[in-house]
Amino acid sequence: MSTPRERARAQTLADITRLGREHLVTYGAAGLSLRAVARDLGVVSSAVYRYVPSRDDLLTLLVVDAYTELGATVEAAEAAVDRQDLLLRWEALAGAARTWALDQPARYGLLFGSPVPGYAAPAEQTTGPGTRVIMLLLTLAADAEAAGCRPSGRAAPPAVTADADRIRAEIGCPVSDQMLVAAVLAWVGLFGAVSFEVFGQYGRDTFGAPAQLFAEIVDRLAGVLGLSAPG
Amino acid sequence: MSTPRERARAQTLADITRLGREHLVTYGAAGLSLRAVARDLGVVSSAVYRYVPSRDDLLTLLVVDAYTELGATVEAAEAAVDRQDLLLRWEALAGAARTWALDQPARYGLLFGSPVPGYAAPAEQTTGPGTRVIMLLLTLAADAEAAGCRPSGRAAPPAVTADADRIRAEIGCPVSDQMLVAAVLAWVGLFGAVSFEVFGQYGRDTFGAPAQLFAEIVDRLAGVLGLSAPG
DNA sequence: TGTACATCAGTGAACGCGCGTTCACTGATGTAC
DNA sequence: TGTACATCAGTGAACGCGCGTTCACTGATGTAC
């Protein structure tokens, strides 16, 4: 049972997180300021220190918050489609990531943009939520191989094989070396495409139909994963 | 003929650019400060305004500077290999981009990271230098198609075809719709992979052999471009 | 049920810091006659 | 070659701003007897 004080405290912490998110939108990660959050919260700046030990901890809070929401969104979208349709699962995963990023460009930038100078996200807190998308993608890759899909590409060199062995042991996901490389390409290709779109790398009006272009890219990456032609 | 005063002026402007680059490394784009540059230049802060109209203009200077160096580096690497060996040209292009980015993470972040809040690079100045890599890649793609290479993937939908028509007209590069999509994937895949490595998205020690992993990714992207199997 | 004490949210002032930009100025370097 | 004037790099003070963090404090909420 929670006391009124506990509830008020949780509410205020939630408000701080929400305001932090909003400030991220306007001022970016480097411009995130405890004083500004305190102002919007209607409270004197030192009061925020009752809830958050420092500016960097607020940033960590927001990183975890963003990774968690992205992960949950992508997982939900992928889980909502037919398990047997591997191509559709990949498309759902990719599309959900893109949609979330376009809806939340500042939070996306916090996760996938340039690192904030002077700040390093503590691995203990961010690793879990930060790996949900790639874990989901590896599960999908394993299912695909089990269903007879074969990724494209040559055999991996020894150095990559060694990494692959370690990663398989860590995550317990039965994928071949080649599928692992293909999954990493799908991962970086997906977020590369999303980053170009969100960060405006494509140029102001080079592509009139970015959603269709994205679908084409996702289709080619499905080919790399071997999803189009199940054996 | 340049006067001593002109030479001194050019030298000081070059010093400001160099110091700006160095500050980028330590403090990031959002932390770039005219006062700090003036301090390092050994001059009072207002003196810098003789050379640069404002902080944002210094940022633009650095963006153009970085795009220009990246473009020149990649072009030189690609030009140094056998014209007939299309796969090698792609590998040289990709490898040079990665090396430059790893050597210059802060400048790379300025170009390909999250946008600096409150700053928008003026298109007139950055478009030229900013498109050198993709232009080079499209030239390579056109050469590949001329040599009989066929990219993987289905036919593009009408919306993408329309964009492709416009882009072909703008750049005068004879590539098919499918090759254009493949080139865009190669482009975003390349910079996605580089960004993950430079920005630390892979995790602290997930991959012991990032160079080999990158080579594998580049190889798969070559497959998408159809470079491995010339007809 | 009532009193004494502990907890804790929030205050307000202060510390020392850095920032972009403007402005009137000094003094050296260049130019025209 | 010498003088008068124009150009322009750099100075120093100021404007008004925001930041993270500490600290002694007030006063309300909760708890133990």
User: Chain B contacts of A32, Cβ < 8 Å?
Assistant: none
What's the CA B47/C1' D14 distance, rounded, in angstroms? Answer: 15
Whether any strand D atom is under 7 angstroms from the Cβ of B50: the reply reads yes
Q: Which token pair is A32?
A: 């995130």
Contacts of B220 (CB under 8 A, 6+ apart): A152, A153, A181, A182, A185, A224
Q: Which is it for the CA torsion A25, A31, A34, A40, positive or negative?
A: negative
User: Chain B contacts of A224, Cβ < 8 Å?
Assistant: 220, 223-224
Whether any strand C atom is under 7 angstroms from the Cβ of B4: the reply reads yes
Interior/surface letters B139-162, b for 16+ CB within 10 angstroms, e for the rest: bbbbbbbeeebbbbbeebeebbeb
Mean pLDDT in residue range A7-24: 95
What pLDDT shows up at residue A203? 87
Which positions on chain D have an atom < 7 Å from some protein CB?
A: 8-14, 18-24, 29-31
In three-state secondary structure terms, A176 is: coil
Report the distance separating Cα B181 and Cα B167, nearest Å.
Answer: 12
- pTM (global) more than 0.85: yes
pLDDT band at A149 (very low <50, low <70, confident <90, very high): very high
Between B127 and A26, whose confidence is greater?
Answer: B127
Ordered mean pLDDT values, 10 residues apiece, chain B (231 residues): 84 96 90 95 96 96 97 98 98 98 96 91 94 97 96 95 94 93 98 97 92 98 85 40
Taking only the tens place, the pLDDT of each residue in A80-91 is: 999 999 999 999
Segment 120-179 of chain B within 8 Å of chain A by CB: 123, 127, 130-131, 152-154, 156-157, 159-160, 162-163, 166-167
Computed over every residue of chain A, the mean pLDDT equals 94
Mean pLDDT in residue range A199-217: 95
Mean pLDDT in residue range A149-155: 94
Report the distance separating Cα A104 and Cα B13, nearest Å.
Answer: 38
Mutate to test the interface with B, among A213, A218, A225 (most CBs of B within 10 A): A213
A42/B contact by beta carbon, under 8 A: no
What pLDDT shows up at residue A230? 45
Q: Report yes or no: A68 and A129 within 8 Å, Cβ to Cβ.
A: yes
